[in-house]
Amino acid sequence: MTARSFDLAVVGGGLVGAAVAWGAARTGARVVVLDEGDIAFRASRGNFALVWVQSKGMGMPEYAAWTVASSEAWAGFADELGRESGIDVAHRRPGGFHLALSDAELQARADNLKRLHNQPAMQRYPYEILDRERVRGMLPEIGPEVVGGSFCPLDGHTNSLKLLRALHTALARAGTPYLARHAVETILPRGGGGFRLLSSGGTIEAARVALCAGNGNARLAPMLGLSVPVRPQRGQIVVTERVQPFLHHPVVTVRQTDEGSVMLGDSLEETGFDTATGLGVTGTIANRAVRLFPRLARVNVVRTWAALRVMTPDGFPIYEESTSHPGAFVATCHSGVTLAANHARLVGPTIAAGRLPAETFAPFSARRFDVPQAA
């Protein structure tokens, strides 16, 4: 049996893989997307859908700049994707809040943002620390315990499920095959160049390969001479029934979707590959949400779930080409929504062209983890 052959095989059909694949396919490359089955660790179906800037980049100013660039590009990306897929992904950028329930929380917030922006080479972006009254002017329904918050006008949100569907629809319209139930087991570099991907659904050949498999990258990367030290970090989320619009700015842990339901997040838990939910964590999420917005007390919860973030040791993305196996790339991050615009407009096309320009991508190499931590 001869394997099907492509210019680029993207491993992973989540938000990162789909955005990279779409960006590559638009340059004319013959792309294929390989994905697992219906039940898999899918961060793309479980995320919180913020397109978020504030508080990003502590320890890596280049990541702050990369995030701001994607946030700036998002509206144009959403328009373009809407035209090619026929799906409005409900992107809004009204500015977002991080709210504090005590003076200590507010002070810690202010200190963090100050330290972030005081970093050398930091690309500063606008934000403000607001007291209770100024917050209330923009979020009239806050509860009595809210003492203030930070506001960043670059923050926004989208409907990440529509985003995933729009990317898949655009891929289908671009003629890019999406092969679900093709969990990639082994990748074999071929003698004369190119790669052979052995999957549960059959074998695929491609001149280039892009690993966009989330936590699966840790296992696949060494086959291509790459090191991708990612680990799962659980986040639990609560979602309510639909209610009349009342929240016109996303808050980092509370946002009202374009469909009216209210999403409440989220936890940070080091529990390995375990997507169980627990009443202690979802209860705490609910408790804080009710204190932020008391009207939510009466609203019904219809679902809770957990998903696994894809975390590197420092929390920042990895974009890298293999030096031992040219043509093999990895793109991994835990902000597949925020960075979708960059992935579609920059990462996909450059991978299709065969190289990641060092001036943009060198800081994101996993080689940063090889340096022993200085005292």
Binding site for other proteins (CB under 8 A): 35-39, 45, 161, 164-165, 168-169, 172, 177-181, 238, 240-241, 259, 264, 266-269, 277-290, 296-305
Q: How far apart are the first and last CA of the chain?
A: 56
The single-letter code of the amino acid at 88 is: D
Least Å from the CB of residue 195 to other proteins:
22
Least Å from the CB of residue 218 to other proteins:
22
Nearer to other proteins (CB atom), residue 278 or residue 363: 278
Q: Which residues contact 50 (CB under 8 A, 6 or more apart)?
A: 96, 155, 156, 157, 250, 252, 255, 337, 338
Least Å from the CB of residue 105 to other proteins:
8
With contact defined as beta carbons under 8 Å apart, do 21 and 171 qualify? yes
b/e per residue 22-61 (b: at least 16 CB within 10 A): bbbbbeebbbbbbbbeeebbbbbebbbbbbbbbbbbbebb
Least Å from the CB of residue 299 to other proteins:
5
Least Å from the CB of residue 117 to other proteins:
20
Provide DSSP, 183-208: -EEEEEE-TTS-EEEEETTEEEEEEE
Nearer to other proteins (CB atom), residue 287 or residue 323: 287
Nearer to other proteins (CB atom), residue 270 or residue 370: 270
Nearer to other proteins (CB atom), residue 10 or residue 221: 10
Nearer to other proteins (CB atom), residue 279 or residue 374: 279
Least Å from the CB of residue 287 to other proteins:
4
Indicate left, alpha or beta for 49 from its phi (over 0: left) and psi (-120 to 50: alpha): left
* Residue 143, burial from CB neighbour count under 10 angstroms (0-12, 13-18, 19+): middle
Least Å from the CB of residue 305 to other proteins:
6
Least Å from the CB of residue 18 to other proteins:
11
Three-state DSSP state, 131 = strand
Nearer to other proteins (CB atom), residue 68 or residue 290: 290
* Residue 294, burial from CB neighbour count under 10 angstroms (0-12, 13-18, 19+): middle
CB neighbours of residue 179 within 10 Å: 16
Nearer to other proteins (CB atom), residue 215 or residue 365: 215
Closest CA to 130 of 121, 142, 119, 115: 142
CB neighbours of residue 364 within 10 Å: 23
Q: Where are the beta strands (DSSP E) in 19-176?
A: 31-34, 50-51, 96-100, 128-131, 148-152, 156-157
What Rg do the C-alpha atoms of the chain give, in angstroms? 21
With contact defined as beta carbons under 8 Å apart, do 126 and 153 qualify? yes
Least Å from the CB of residue 308 to other proteins:
14
Nearer to other proteins (CB atom), residue 14 or residue 61: 14
With contact defined as beta carbons under 8 Å apart, do 132 and 106 qualify? no
Least Å from the CB of residue 283 to other proteins:
3
Nearer to other proteins (CB atom), residue 27 or residue 275: 275
Residue 229 CA to residue 201 CA, distance in Å, equals 27
Nearer to other proteins (CB atom), residue 122 or residue 179: 179
